[in-house]
C-alpha cells in the first residue's frame, strides 16, 4: 500500500478543569487549608461541531474555528447523521484535485504534557461508485512528525495501524461495518513512549511505542484523514465524526509563599513546564480575583501581591488554564 503522503507529512476554544492548591495568609502566617488534588485531566480541546459553537453547514470544515487542512477533497459540516446529536463533521465524498491522494484535517493542540487522551465518535459510509478508500486517525507531534496512524480500510472493512514512520501496516484483529457509529479512544503516554487504543471498548492496540526514530514526544494534533490508494480513482465514501475531544493528564501545580515584606507576600507557582497557570485571590473563598496568568517557563513563576498589605487575611489558589 502506498503511504507516501502519510509518511512524508511535515505539517505542522479550549476548556479547562481547575486544579489548585489553596493557601491562607493571616497577618503574615501561611497555612495550607486544602491539600493538593490528584492528577487532573483538563480538556485541551473539544467540539461537537454545533451551530451554537459557530460551525456552518454551508462551509468546509477547513477554515472554520481554527481547523486546518493539508491536501484537497470533500470536508464540511452536516446535520442529523447521529440521531439526536445535532451537527457532525465529515471528510471524503467529493473528489480531490487531480493527482491528490489524501486530505488531512486537524485542529492544532500543541501541548507538552505527560499523558493525553483522545476520543471521538465516528462512522464510515460506503461507496456507491465501485472505488473504496481508507480513513485515518493520525497523531503528530509539534514538529509535524507522525507518531502513529489508525487505518480504517473501507475496502477490506478492517482496522489497521501504522507506527510512526513505518511503511507497513499491521492488522489490529478488528473489523468494522459501514453505517455504524463507533467510539474510538486513544491514550498516549509521552513519558513512557507508549500508546493504546480501543474501538467500542474492544482493544485495538496496547503498549505500542509512540516513536522508534527519536521523534519528539509531545502532542501536536490528531488528524482525521482521507487516503485514496488508487490515484485519481476516489470512492464517494466518507467518514462522519463528532464529539472530538483531547484531554491531558497533568500533575497539580504547587503554590508557595516565599516570604512577606511590609505585608506584601511573594508567591511562587510551580507547575509543569511550558504550561499556563492562573493565580487568584479571595478574602472569603467565594469571590475570586484574578491576579496573574503566566506560562511556567522553566517550571515556575513568581508574583508579589502588594494589594494584600491592607488585608487581614487573603486566600490564594493556582489553576491550570489553556
The answer to whether position 17 is within a domain reads: no
CA-only gyration radius of the chain, Å: 23
Structurally, how many domains does the chain consist of?
Answer: 2
The answer to whether position 204 is within a domain reads: yes
Instruction: Say which CATH number the domain at 160 has.
Output: 2.60.120.560
Q: Are residues 95 and 218 in the same domain?
A: yes
Strand partners, 295: 276
Q: Are residues 114 and 243 in the same domain?
A: yes
For residue 5, the model assigns a pLDDT of 37
Q: Are residues 29 and 171 in the same domain?
A: no
The answer to whether position 5 is within a domain reads: no
Closest residue by Cα to residue 77 from 245, 244, 241:
241
For residue 284, the model assigns a pLDDT of 86
For residue 39, the model assigns a pLDDT of 57
Q: Which of 203, 226, 249 is the last residue of a domain?
A: 249
DSSP for residue 322: -
Question: For residues 55 and 37, what is the distance between their CA atoms, to the nearest angstrom?
Answer: 36
Q: Which of 197, 229, 249 is the last residue of a domain?
A: 249
For residue 312, the model assigns a pLDDT of 82
The answer to whether position 34 is within a domain reads: yes
For residue 263, the model assigns a pLDDT of 84
Low-confidence ranges of the chain (pLDDT < 70): 1-40
Q: Are residues 172 and 103 in the same domain?
A: yes
Q: Which of 220, 249, 278 is the last residue of a domain?
A: 249
Return the C-alpha cell found at 162. Answer: 501504522
For residue 23, the model assigns a pLDDT of 57
* Cα distance from N-terminal residue to C-terminal residue, the chain: 39
Q: Are residues 74 and 171 in the same domain?
A: yes
The answer to whether position 64 is within a domain reads: yes
Q: Are residues 188 and 202 in the same domain?
A: yes
The answer to whether position 11 is within a domain reads: no
Q: Are residues 172 and 243 in the same domain?
A: yes
Cβ-contact 127, 179 below 8 angstroms: no
pLDDT for 168-187, tens place per residue? Answer: 999 999 999 999 999 999 99
Following CA atoms 106, 111, 115, 121 in sequence, which dihedral angle do they give, to the nearest 10 degrees? -20
Return the C-alpha cell found at 233. Answer: 480513482
3-state secondary structure 74-89: CEEEEECCCCCCCEEE
Q: Are residues 196 and 133 in the same domain?
A: yes
The answer to whether position 9 is within a domain reads: no
Question: For residues 43 and 261, what is the distance between their CA atoms, to the nearest angstrom?
Answer: 38
Q: Are residues 202 and 55 in the same domain?
A: yes
Q: Is 310 helix (H, G, I), strand (E, B) or coil?
A: helix
**Residue reference for cell 472530538:** 244
For residue 297, the model assigns a pLDDT of 80
Q: Are residues 244 and 264 in the same domain?
A: no
**Domain, as residue range, for 192:** 43-249
pLDDT for 33-87, tens place per residue? Answer: 444 444 567 899 999 999 999 999 999 999 999 999 999 999 999 999 998 999 9
Q: Are residues 245 and 263 in the same domain?
A: no
Q: Is 8 helix (H, G, I), strand (E, B) or coil?
A: helix
For residue 126, the model assigns a pLDDT of 98
pTM metric for this prediction: 0.79
For the beta carbon of residue 64, count every other beta carbon within 10 angstroms.
18
Question: For residues 104 and 158, what is the distance between their CA atoms, to the nearest angstrom?
Answer: 20
Q: Are residues 27 and 76 in the same domain?
A: no
Return the C-alpha cell found at 132. Answer: 473504496
Instruction: Say which CATH number the domain at 309 has.
Output: 2.60.40
Question: For residues 229 and 5, what is the distance between their CA atoms, to the nearest angstrom?
Answer: 11
For the beta carbon of residue 63, count every other beta carbon within 10 angstroms.
11
For residue 165, the model assigns a pLDDT of 77
Question: For residues 202 and 172, what is the distance between their CA atoms, to the nearest angstrom?
Answer: 10
Got the DSSP string for 257-289?
Answer: EEEEETTEEEEEEE-STT-EEEEEEESSSSS-E
The answer to whether position 12 is within a domain reads: no
Amino acid at each position: 500500500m502506498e503511504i507516501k503522503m502519510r509518511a512524508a507529512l511535515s505539517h505542522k476554544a479550549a476548556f479547562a478543569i481547575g486544579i489548585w492548591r489553596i493557601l491562607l495568609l493571616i497577618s503574615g502566617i501561611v497555612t495550607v487549608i486544602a491539600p493538593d488534588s490528584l492528577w487532573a485531566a483538563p480538556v485541551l480541546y473539544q467540539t461537537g461541531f454545533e451551530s451554537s459553537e459557530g460551525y456552518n453547514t454551508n462551509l468546509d470544515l477547513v477554515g472554520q474555528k481554527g481547523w486546518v487542512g493539508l491536501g484537497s477533497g470533500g470536508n464540511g459540516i452536516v446535520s442529523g447523521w447521529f440521531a439526536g446529536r445535532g451537527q457532525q463533521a465529515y471528510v471524503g465524498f467529493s473528489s480531490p484535485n487531480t493527482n491528490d491522494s489524501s486530505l488531512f484535517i486537524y485542529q492544532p493542540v500543541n501541548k507538552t504534557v505527560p499523558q493525553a487522551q483522545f476520543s471521538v465518535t465516528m462512522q464510515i459510509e460506503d461507496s456507491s461508485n465501485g472505488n473504496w478508500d481508507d480513513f485515518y486517525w493520525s497523531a503528530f507531534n509539534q514538529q509535524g512528525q507522525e507518531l502513529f496512524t489508525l487505518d480504517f480500510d473501507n475496502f477490506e472493512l478492517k482496522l489497521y495501524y501504522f507506527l510512526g514512520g513505518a511503511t507497513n501496516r499491521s492488522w489490529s484483529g478488528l473489523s468494522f461495518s459501514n453505517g455504524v457509529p463507533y467510539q474510538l479512544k486513544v491514550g498516549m503516554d509521552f513519558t513512557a513512549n507508549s500508546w493504546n487504543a480501543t474501538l467500542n471498548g474492544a482493544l485495538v492496540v496496547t503498549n505500542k511505542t509512540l516513536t522508534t526514530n527519536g521523534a519528539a514526544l509531545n502532542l501536536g494534533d490528531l488528524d482525521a484523514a482521507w487516503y485514496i490508494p488508487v490515484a485519481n480513482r476516489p470512492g464517494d465514501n466518507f467518514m462522519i465524526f463528532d464529539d472530538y475531544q483531547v484531554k491531558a493528564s497533568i500533575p497539580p501545580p504547587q503554590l508557595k509563599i516565599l516570604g512577606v515584606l511590609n505585608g506584601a507576600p511573594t508567591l511562587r507557582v510551580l507547575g509543569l513546564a511550558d504550561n499556563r497557570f492562573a493565580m487568584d485571590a479571595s478574602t472569603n473563598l467565594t469571590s475570586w480575583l484574578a491576579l496573574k496568568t503566566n506560562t511556567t517557563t522553566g517550571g515556575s513563576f513568581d508574583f508579589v501581591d502588594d494589594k494584600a498589605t491592607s488585608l487581614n487575611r487573603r486566600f490564594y489558589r493556582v489553576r491550570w488554564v489553556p
